[in-house]
Amino acid sequence: MILDKHEKGSTLRIAVLASGRGSNFEALCKGDTGNGRISLLLTDNENADVLRKASELGVEGIYLSPGRYRTKFGEAEEMEWTRLLKDRGIELVCLAGLMRIIKGSILEEYEGRIMNIHPALLPSFPGLHAQKQALDHGVRITGCTVHFVDAGIDTGPIILQKAVHVKDDDTVETLSSRILEQEHIAYSEAVKLYCGGTLPASQGHIFKRE
Ligand code: GRF
């Protein structure tokens, strides 16, 4: 995958895809994303808090059916999502708590232009419940990772990471909340880097992990 670098100067339209609370969406809307502008929120959950946040923040928020599966898109539905992203002129897609795997037309259309935020220092603790995985393993440092999305689960090229120390008395809740603070900083920083066309050259390659 050759990662696309945005041309310096012009405004870049960004869509956030989310399923739930939407704190990263809000942080992206309020943060410094350089030339990037969050212009669309797409969700697979009509009751998601993130939809309410979008309307409060004046961002177009749309629920679109994901199809009949629980953790992936139906083929036809994913094509609808892709069509909408293209119709709105979206150039960068940011996943922020989307509880679904992207494998079909969105990935084909936007490969190298889809980011995700994960609440652990990848490649450690991919998948669900990353904060609990970190506690269960007894690591002393964990954190968050912003990475490009490929066909695997949390396996794409890493853009940036923030470390968080684990305290002796941490619970999943206390640790998650300190990681979340760092997520909110990291995501805007990564988007700003992308939009400024200043991602380091090493981010231009896939690191294949088996
Ligand atoms: C975050 O912890 C993010 O790392 C993970 O899903 C959660 C979404 O939280 N991918 P929010 O909806 O942005 O508050």
Q: What is the pLDDT of residue 203?
A: 55
* Average pLDDT, integer, range 66-91: 95
CATH number listed for the domain at residues 12-208: 3.40.50.170
Q: Is the CB of 43 under 6 A from ligand 1?
A: no
Rounded to whole angstroms, the Cα distance separating 155 from 152 reads 5
Token pair in block for residue 67: 């199809």
By residue count, the chain amounts to 210
Q: What is the DSSP letter of 101?
A: B
Using the predicted structure, report yes or no on whether residue 30 has a pLDDT greater than 70.
yes
Using the predicted structure, report yes or no on whether residue 76 has a pLDDT greater than 60.
yes
Question: Are the CB atoms for 73 and 95 separated by under 8 Å?
Answer: no
Using the predicted structure, report yes or no on whether residue 6 has a pLDDT greater than 60.
no
User: Helix, strand or coil for residue 33?
Assistant: coil
Using the predicted structure, report yes or no on whether residue 201 has a pLDDT greater than 70.
no
- Bigger pLDDT: 137 vs 199: 137
Using the predicted structure, report yes or no on whether residue 128 has a pLDDT greater than 50.
yes
C-alpha dihedral, 127 to 201 to 1 to 112, nearest 10°: 60
Cβ neighbourhood burial of 45 (10 Å; 0-12, 13-18, 19+): middle
The sheet with strand 36-43 has its strands ordered as 60-63, 36-43, 12-18, 92-95, 114-118, 141-148, 158-165
Question: Are the CB atoms for 187 and 24 separated by under 8 Å?
Answer: yes
Q: What is the pLDDT of residue 10?
A: 78
From residue 153, how far is each of 14, 15, 37, 157, 163 by CA, in Å?
22, 20, 27, 12, 21
For residue 39, the CA-to-ligand 1 centroid distance in Å is: 19
pLDDT in tens, 112-124: 999 999 999 999 9
pLDDT in tens, 63-75: 999 999 999 999 9
Query: Of all protein residues, whose CA lies closest to atom 14 belonging to ligand 1?
Result: 23
C-alpha dihedral, 182 to 183 to 186 to 188, nearest 10°: -130
Q: Is the CB of 18 under 6 A from ligand 1?
A: yes
Q: What is the pLDDT of residue 210?
A: 42
Question: Are the CB atoms for 36 and 14 separated by under 8 Å?
Answer: yes
Q: Which atom of ligand 1 is nearest to the CA of 179?
A: 2
Domain ranges of the chain: 12-208
* Average pLDDT, integer, range 88-94: 97
User: pTM score, two decimals?
Assistant: 0.92
Region of poorest pLDDT, from 54-63, 174-183, 196-205: 196-205
Q: Rounded to the nearest 5°, which phi and psi values hold at 47?
A: -100, 10
* Average pLDDT, integer, range 43-56: 97
Q: Is the CB of 143 under 6 A from ligand 1?
A: no
For residue 114, the CA-to-ligand 1 centroid distance in Å is: 16
Mean pLDDT of the chain: 92
- Bigger pLDDT: 103 vs 29: 29
User: Is residue 129 among the annotated active site residues?
Assistant: no
Q: Which atom of ligand 1 is nearest to the CA of 131?
A: 2
Helices 23-30 and 172-195, packing angle to 10 deg: 40
Q: pLDDT over 90 for what percent of the chain? A: 88
* Average pLDDT, integer, range 183-195: 96
Which of 24, 124, 133, 188 most suits a substitution to test ligand 1, by most atoms within 8 Å of the C-beta? 24
